[in-house]
Amino acid sequence: MAIDTSPGALPVRAPLAPVPGEPVLDVVIPVFNEEKDLGPCVRRLHEHLTRTFPYPFRITIADNASTDRTPEVAAWLAASVAGVRSTRLEEKGRGRALRTVWGDSEAPVLAYMDVDLSTDLNALLPLVAPLISGHSDLAIGTRLAPSSRVVRGAKREFISRAYNLLLRSSLSARFSDAQCGFKAIRREVAERLLPLVEDSGWFFDTELLVLAERAGLRIHEVPVDWVDDPDSTVHIARTAAEDLKGVWRVGRALAVGALPLDRLARPFGDDPRDRTALPGVPRGLARQLLGFCVVGVLSTLLYLLLYSAARTVAGPQLANAAALLLSAVANTAANRRLTFGVRGRDRAVRHQAQGLVVFAIGLALTSGSLAALAAAGGRPPHSTELAVLVTANLAATVLRFLLFRAWVFPERRATPAHTKDTLR
């Protein structure tokens, strides 16, 4: 079984081993001025967990700088109900509360839910079970699955669906419901992921999920039954504006590779695809070939468009060099991320420099083909030039893939387990 030894990489996902007397689950309830609903919420949740959850648990009340009697109610619940504790934050923000409590908790599974308990509690065990079993890294409740049953007004329904459509179109998000207040995460994932999340308010959920998904972590979705709280104090317009700013910030960071998502890499574990490869059979070759071909087709189209545009103002050799240079930079960047799975800025400049060396080889092949065509005599038509360039590029493409795989983006060899033990 291959072992990922890259700095900061997550360990192989495995089932949790409960420690006697220690909570397996810590459910956080962020509150702000909820003196009326807090008591009934905590007692109902505590009764449900006592009756249905097979492991020790804890309920943590995170008071976000309430100005009413919420702190007193929270303290009374912590003193009178077993397994309940409270903490006070002097600043508002759901994300700030979750980051603080999750960061201090020793429970291996961390969850949170809204104080109004809009989500049916029967979904709680299905939410955390994949995390306990080692199947998933995060879990979310979704109100937008076909089997979910939701009662809420048309305005909130429209806003929710429009927001998730925005995430799909702008950040390529594949999860279905970013803002449902019903989520869970494994502690070792939270320890690595939370430092990368900047938002401390309502966008915290979305940012957490987008970064986890981009890092290749597994997100489990649970269809929920959900009833809207008519007394919700969420300011929709202000929240929407903050969310749009967050989408722009995260999208820009992802576009420039500013986030070290490779720190969140997690090996497949016992997946057959991750076992030691057979002698003479390179691992991941089929996937890399497919990615390289897709990138190659797109970059070839870009190259031909650039060449045709440059050919109107320059000779064939200058137009070829300019078009090939621009498309080569884009090709190296796309193959770096999509074909060979390299994330972040680490060694990005070196990879582009090596890509330019590969570009020079392609330039020699294509320029030589144009020179040979010119030597044949006459002024060939533009279509003939393109046909010769496509043929030369096919030869250059094969060489480019071999050089990319063996030199620019070589596979990092896993350190054998016995070697790791020796170094300890």
Instruction: Detail the DSSP E strand segments found in 187-286.
Output: 219-223, 225-227
Q: Which amino acid is at 410?
A: P
- pLDDT at 100 (0 to 100): 94
**Chain centroid offset of residue 42 CA:** 32
Is the pLDDT confidence value at 345 over 80?
A: no
Q: In this predicted model, which residue has the larger pLDDT, 194 or 378?
A: 194
Distance between CA 137 and CA 183 in Å, rounded?
A: 11
Q: Out of 63, 199, 205, 243, which one is annotated catalytic?
A: 205
Q: Is 228 a known active-site residue?
A: no
Tokens in use for 280? 């003479």
Q: Which is it for the CA torsion 28, 102, 195, 267, positive or negative?
A: negative
232-276: per-residue pLDDT in tens?
555 666 777 888 899 999 988 888 888 888 767 666 444 444 444
Q: In this predicted model, which residue has the larger pLDDT, 414 or 296?
A: 296
120-134: per-residue pLDDT in tens?
999 999 999 999 999
Distance between CA 107 and CA 27 in Å, rounded?
A: 10
Q: In this predicted model, which residue has the larger pLDDT, 2 or 45?
A: 45
CB 367 within 8 Å of CB 317: yes
- pLDDT at 285 (0 to 100): 67
Q: In this predicted model, which residue has the larger pLDDT, 306 or 394?
A: 306
Question: Half-sphere exposure of 312 toward its Cβ, with a 13 Å CA cutoff?
Answer: 5
CA distances from 261 to 93, 152, 283, 404 (A): 25, 36, 22, 22
- pLDDT at 148 (0 to 100): 92
Average of pLDDT values for 390-414?
75
- pLDDT at 317 (0 to 100): 85
63-72: per-residue pLDDT in tens?
999 999 999 9
- pLDDT at 278 (0 to 100): 45
Nearest by Cα to 148 from 227, 228, 225, 229: 225
